[in-house]
Amino acid sequence: MTAAARLAALDTMPAEELCRLAETGLSALVDVMNQETTLLRAGHMREAGKLTPEKTGLAQDYVTLARAVQRQNQRLSVEAPAALDRLRAGHESLATQMAENLRVLATAKTVTEDILTDVARMVGQQDRARTYGTAGRVAVDPASAARGLTVNRAL
């Protein structure tokens, strides 16, 4: 089935069925994002990363359904107003979950950057020359600071 045929099938789908399909997709997406957020909070980055393909597929499916709902909004508001209202409420829960997920991802990114900065600083201190300068202190040679790090992603 071509993309145009799939879109046409969604556009001609009964109102209740289209809304139900969109609600199901939305619920699955919110659930996966919640699982990912929980894993990220617990520091289980690898397990959270394993959810990415599923989350991506669910997000693509939901966007397709949401666009069909947008195209058929007038018809749906007449034929299935209650289902459309439930879908709107569900979309608000997605927005809330996405905001929480992004906040946790930002925190994880900041923590990772802090750790890498600390490691770079420590490596730079270890490489520093151990000689005294003219003031009687250990000279700090900026050229001897860490020039980069190699990260073993298998760890």
Q: What is the mean pLDDT of the chain?
A: 84
Q: Convert 93-151 into a string of H (helix), E (strand) and C (coil).
A: HHHHHHHHHHHHHHHHHHHHHHHHHHHHHHHHHHCCCCCECCCCCECCCHHHCCCCCCC
138 φ, ψ to 5°?
-65, 125
Tens digits of residue pLDDT in 106-140:
888 888 888 888 887 777 666 555 666 667 666 65
pLDDT over 90 at 34, yes or no: yes
Output the pLDDT for position 142. 55
Give the residue carrying structure tokens 């599923």.
54
Give the model's confidence band at 25: pLDDT under 50 very low, under 70 low, under 90 confident, else very high.
very high
pLDDT, position 80: 92
In this prediction, residue 36 has a pLDDT band, given cuts at 50, 70 and 90, of very high
The mean pLDDT of 64-73, rounded to a whole number, is: 92
